[in-house]
């Protein structure tokens, strides 16, 4: 086993937790940029040293901070993500960068960013300067896909970017206003990919676009398999098929398959975890019944098993946001989730034996795991 | 030469200085000059459409402005404040 680091973005700054080789003892570094709203903090797996942080504050506009020394020192991007200048009085301005995605392994230095309002941006110099991706941001259908009045409480999002490891031109994005899109030409053009995905909040509950795709992820060892935690349920898509299958119905109905995030197993394409939340009534968005649990499938969604050992047995009202649930590459796999109550919970046994490894942090927005 | 008040939210850019001087006849020109000397400062106050960000306030002397084209008055004073923005 090797040591790992957890990169934690919160509403009030960032922290880095580094483990020992057994993933039992944790050393903490931080706060980093205390007071900045950190939506995402990501290590570049291609060089193992470049950290990018998506930051803003209540007052100040958004920016990207960059570190190449393990987070000891930071430099600000020379040109953060920004929409093209326009004379339209309703012209878009980036409110915050939500998601940072290292590019394909064959394109070192390339990063992608998703923003609110929904926007796709690319950097070719390791995150120093960013350009608007016209294929999405200036698409003739943009205002249909991303109507200005739509969005989450924190604004409408382009909330995930996925690059096919076999083909750098093949990409997927997830949005909160129009669901999932696919590109075969490295972002130059996009098509909706939402067949059979529910949008229960629209007059047509199965539209071409309009869904709220909370999170998408490829199965690392089978990039033809896409997992999706949608606003309305858990789905799986096996390409080249274009019809998503609702797999969350196999979760007990008293728990339901509403949630923000889904985490695939790094080596087993049939295994993934979700963290269900209460999506009934007025949508409390907390652990159903106050009893936190992850649910694991090991058969591609045909069945699910509850894993709650170590979590509070009652009165545990966790909310885990889109970017705040992740897996490491360990054997067995370690899982980590951060709560809006400022707690980090870890399992070193593929979802069993959860324990709290940090508390009293600000509201956690993101947790990503990386080798030390 | 304009006299510019820098709020605490931006002193990380100015090595802690709360009063700096800058060249320019308009709000935008002054902010451009500040950005040359303190890279990144302007974008955190003014968005890419040249709008003053929602929770920032700019005053030319005693008069508030939300236009980067506004000319500075004879006093040549630009005050930048962080407005109330919640907890």
Kindly state whether residue B7 falls inside one of the protein's structural domains.
yes
pLDDT, residue A150, reads 74
Exposure on the CB side of residue B87, measured as CA atoms within 13 A: 2
Interchain pair B9, A78: CB under 8 A: no
Q: Quick one: A73 exposed, middle or buried, by C-beta within 10 A (0-12, 13-18, 19+)?
A: exposed
Which chain A residues are Cβ-neighbours of B50 within 8 angstroms? 85
- What average pLDDT does this structure show over B30-54? 97
- Cβ pair B56:A60 closer than 8 A: yes
Q: Do A82 and B47 touch (CB under 8 A)?
A: yes
Q: Tell me chain A's radius of gyration from C-alpha atoms.
A: 19
- Using CA atoms, how far apart are residues A111 and A246, in angstroms rounded to an integer? 31
**Banded model confidence at residue B87, pLDDT cuts 50, 70, 90:** confident
Residue A328 near residue A295 (C-beta atoms within 8 A): no
How, if at all, do strands B77-82 and B2-5 pair?
A: parallel
First to last CA, chain B: 36
Cβ of A62: how many Cβ atoms within 10 Å? Answer: 28
Average pLDDT over residues B24-51: 97
Which residues are CB-contacts of B4 (< 8 A; sequence separation ≥ 6)? Answer: B19, B20, B21, B22, B30, B34, B77, B78, B79, B80
**Cβ separation B40–A58 shorter than 8 A:** no
pLDDT class of B83 with cuts at 50, 70, 90: confident
Interface probe for B, chosen from A13, A57, A61 (most Cβ of B below 10 Å), is A61
The answer to whether residues B41 and B10 touch, using CB atoms and an 8 Å cutoff, is: yes
Instruction: Write the pLDDT tens digit of every residue in B57-69.
Output: 999 999 999 999 9
The helix (run of H) or strand (run of E) holding residue B32 is helix B27-37
Judge residue A299's burial from the number of C-beta atoms within 10 Å of its C-beta, 0-12 exposed, 13-18 middle, 19 or more buried: exposed
Does B15 touch chain A if contact means CB atoms closer than 8 Å?
no
Report residue B26's pLDDT band, with 50, 70 and 90 as the boundaries. very high
The span from the CA of A137 to the CA of A143, in Å, is 9
Separation in Å, CA of A175 to nearest CA in chain B: 22
- Total domains in chain B come to 1
* Chain A residues with CB within 8 Å of chain B CB: 57-61, 63, 76-78, 80, 82-86, 91-94
Residues of A in contact with B49 (CB under 8 A): 83, 85-86, 91-93
Domain range for B72: 2-82
Residue B84: pLDDT band (50, 70, 90) is confident
Q: Which long-range contacts (CB under 8 A, 24 or more apart) does A354-363 make?
A: A354/A307, A354/A308, A354/A309, A354/A310, A354/A311, A355/A310, A357/A17, A357/A26, A358/A8, A358/A15, A358/A17, A358/A26, A358/A28, A361/A8, A361/A10, A361/A15, A362/A10, A362/A11, A362/A12, A362/A13, A363/A10, A363/A11, A363/A12
Q: What residue of A is the nearest CA neighbor of B84?
A: A59
Q: Does the CB of B85 have a partner CB in chain A at under 8 Å?
A: yes
Extract the tokens encoding A320: 């885990």
Q: Which residues of B touch A54 (CB under 8 A)?
A: none
Give A210→chain B minimum CA distance, Å. 27
> Is residue B87 in some structural domain?
no
Question: Domain with B65 in it: what CATH number?
Answer: 3.10.20.30
Q: Chain A contact for B29, CB < 8 A?
A: no
Q: Give CA separation, A329 vs A63, A234, A333, A348, in Å.
A: 30, 23, 6, 11
Kindly state the tokens that stand for A215. Answer: 């999170």
- Nearest residue in A to B51, CA atom: A93
Cβ-Cβ contacts under 8 Å between A and B: the total is 53
Could you report the predicted ipTM of this complex, rounded to two decimals? 0.91
Instruction: For residue A119, give the nearest of A109, A129, A128, A130 by alpha carbon.
Output: A130
Q: Which chain A residues touch B44 with a CB distance below 8 Å?
A: 60-61, 63
pLDDT tens-place values along chain A, 372 residues long? 689 999 999 999 999 999 999 999 999 999 999 999 999 999 999 999 999 999 999 899 999 999 999 899 999 999 999 999 998 888 999 999 999 999 999 999 999 999 999 999 999 999 999 999 999 999 999 999 999 877 777 899 999 999 999 999 999 999 999 999 999 999 999 999 999 999 999 999 999 999 999 999 999 999 999 999 999 999 999 999 999 999 999 999 999 999 999 999 999 999 999 999 999 999 999 999 999 999 999 999 999 999 999 999 999 999 999 999 999 999 999 999 999 999 999 999 999 999 999 999 999 999 999 999
Cβ contact, residue pair B43, A86, below 8 Å = no
């Amino acid at each position: 086993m090797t040591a790992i680091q957890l990169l934690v973005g919160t509403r009030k700054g960032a922290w880095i937790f580094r483990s020992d080789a057994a993933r039992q003892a944790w050393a903490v570094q931080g706060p980093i940029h205390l007071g900045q709203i950190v939506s995402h903090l990501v290590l570049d797996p291609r060089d193992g040293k470049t950290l990018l942080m998506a930051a803003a504050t209540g007052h100040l506009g958004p920016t990207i901070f960059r570190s190449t020394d393990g987070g000891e020192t930071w430099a600000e991007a020379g040109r953060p993500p920004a929409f093209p200048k326009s004379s339209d009085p309703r012209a878009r301005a980036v409110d915050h960068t939500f998601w940072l995605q290292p590019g394909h392994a064959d394109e070192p230095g390339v990063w992608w960013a998703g923003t609110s309002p929904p926007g796709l941006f690319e950097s070719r110099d390791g995150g120093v300067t960013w350009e608007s991706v016209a294929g999405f941001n200036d698409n003739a259908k943009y205002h249909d896909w991303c109507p200005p009045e739509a969005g989450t409480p924190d604004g409408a999002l382009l909330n995930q970017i996925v690059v096919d490891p076999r083909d750098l031109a093949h990409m997927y994005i997830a949005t909160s206003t129009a669901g999932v899109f696919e590109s075969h030409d490295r972002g130059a053009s996009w098509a909706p990919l939402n067949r059979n995905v529910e949008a229960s909040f629209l007059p047509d509950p199965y539209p071409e676009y309009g869904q709220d795709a909370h999170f998408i992820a490829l199965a690392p060892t089978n990039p033809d398999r896409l997992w999706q935690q949608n606003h309305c349920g858990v789905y799986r898509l096996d390409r080249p098929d274009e019809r998503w299958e609702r797999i969350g119905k196999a979760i007990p109905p008293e728990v339901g398959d509403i949630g923000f995030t889904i985490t695939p197993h790094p080596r087993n394409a049939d295994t993934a975890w979700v963290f269900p939340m209460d999506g009934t009534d007025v949508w409390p968005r907390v652990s159903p019944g106050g009893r936190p649990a992850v649910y694991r499938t090991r058969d591609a969604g045909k069945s699910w098993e509850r894993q709650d050992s170590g979590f509070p047995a009652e009165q545990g009202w966790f909310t885990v946001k889109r970017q705040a649930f992740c897996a490491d590459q360990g054997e067995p796999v370690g899982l980590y989730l951060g709560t809006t109550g400022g707690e980090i919970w870890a399992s070193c046994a593929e979802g069993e034996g959860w324990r709290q490894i940090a508390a009293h942090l600000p509201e956690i927005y993101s947790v990503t795991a990386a080798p030390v | 030469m304009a006299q510019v008040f820098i709020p605490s939210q931006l002193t990380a850019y100015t090595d802690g200085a709360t009063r700096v001087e800058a060249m320019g006849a308009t709000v935008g020109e002054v902010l451009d000059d500040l950005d040359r000397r303190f890279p990144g400062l302007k974008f955190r106050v003014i968005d890419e459409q040249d709008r003053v960000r929602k929770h920032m306030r700019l005053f030319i002397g005693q008069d508030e402005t939300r236009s980067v084209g506004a000319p500075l008055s004879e006093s040549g004073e630009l005050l930048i404040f962080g407005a109330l923005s919640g907890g």
